[in-house]
Amino acid sequence: MARKLALAIFLFLFSYSSLPVIAHPLKICKFDRIYQLGDSISDTGNLIREYPIGANTAFAKLPYGETFFKNATGRCSNGFLMIDYIAMAAGLPLLPPYKKATADLEHGANFAVAGSTALPTQVLANQRVLNPVTNSSLDVQLDWMASHFDSICVDHRDCVEKLHNALFMVGEIGGNDYNYAIFQGKSMDELRSMVPHVVDVIVEGVKKVISFGATRVVVPGNFPIGCLPIYQTAFQTNISAAYDENQCLKQLNDFARYHNEQLQQAIHKLQQEISNAIIIYGDYYNAYEFLLDLARFYGFDTERACCGIGGKYNFDLTRMCGAAGVGVCSDPHRYMSWDGVHLTQEGYKIMSAWLIHNIFHKLHCHF
């Protein structure tokens, strides 16, 4: 209870205080750039610039982005994402998508692509898991990053100097590897067998950004996916034992925890091997559970999608947000889920506040 109260106070101060140190808690870290790799949790506009699929996705048009931006930016929400709040907390501009031709990349770049996977597309295809959205997996994003650094650095030493005060976010990535596998009929045993490979690819990605010159790296884990309307709808059952105390699907949350445990062990091992960088696990799972607690306390809707249609969870996989006739709730700030898959701006704001509170001291920032 004391911890939840402290976090609630922190959230209030983070969101509303005019004091510079509180309003920009990460400013103490003196980050001058942020680089993001990942999927739809973080994409600020790369997928919609991938022709022809991206330009025709729902994320490229309203109601996506309507709460803050009043037009679609490619963010898979009604407004800001966690990376937006992290950038604001660091006192930096919002992170532009790398694929935007006119983007100012002076303070970093966002390489994340909605729908992307940790494992390369062909590797997944060999396991009979198809990515219907994009081929821009983690290895592709890292290639973009390498090209970007080649364009702004004279040599490796110059890059090391330029990136000394940069924050790198490697993920969340890997969630879609499992999402596609689940909806394409893979068993839980098959899913668990994928985990070591997904984790290995993420760890190799961390090593790669450190080789570029990264000194502070956050590696987020997966959400409790059994709490998302897309899964709660697909696997809805009358068997009460299938649900936990949060009315989330136990088996799927157990799997998400398994992935996160394997990822944390790999990060710990990497920390022991590498002395010239700080590598931190980003606990999205517990950040989401804190969001659940806080949402219930304030009477927010913790189950239904704001933008959706049909059923207990206001979600239909065949008629998702952005489709004709699919409505939007009148008060998205009182909903956790935006479209059944992604969170609302309010949800991301609360999660980012928890995350910043959780990682701040681990980043070794000094007053």
Residue with tokens 């961390």: 206
Q: Pick the catalytic residue: 39, 40, 116, 352?
A: 40
CA distance 113 to 18: 33
Q: Pick the catalytic residue: 43, 177, 283, 339?
A: 339
Give the helix/strand (H/E) hosting 106.
none
Under 8 Å CB-to-CB from 123, ≥6 apart: which residues?
Answer: 197
Q: Which two tokens stand for residue 19?
A: 């004091």
Q: Which two tokens stand for residue 132?
A: 């219907």
Q: How far is CA 105 from the centre of its chain?
A: 20
Under 8 Å CB-to-CB from 219, ≥6 apart: which residues?
Answer: 170, 171, 202, 206, 263, 267, 279, 280, 281, 282
β-pairing, 307-308 vs 327-328, is: antiparallel
Residue with tokens 């790198």: 168
342 is catalytic: yes
CA distance 287 to 266: 20
Q: Which two tokens stand for residue 147?
A: 């090209």
The torsion of the CA quartet 198, 204, 210, 216, rounded to 10 degrees, works out to 20
Is 306:332 a contact under the CB 8 Å cutoff?
yes
Q: How far is CA 116 from the centre of its chain?
A: 11
- Comparing CA positions, the residue from 136, 144, 145 lying closest to residue 166 is 145
Would you list the DSSP string of 123-178?
HHHHTT---SS-S--HHHHHHHHHHHHHHH-SSHHHHHHHTTTEEEEE-S-SHHHH
| Catalytic (active-site) positions | 40, 339, 342
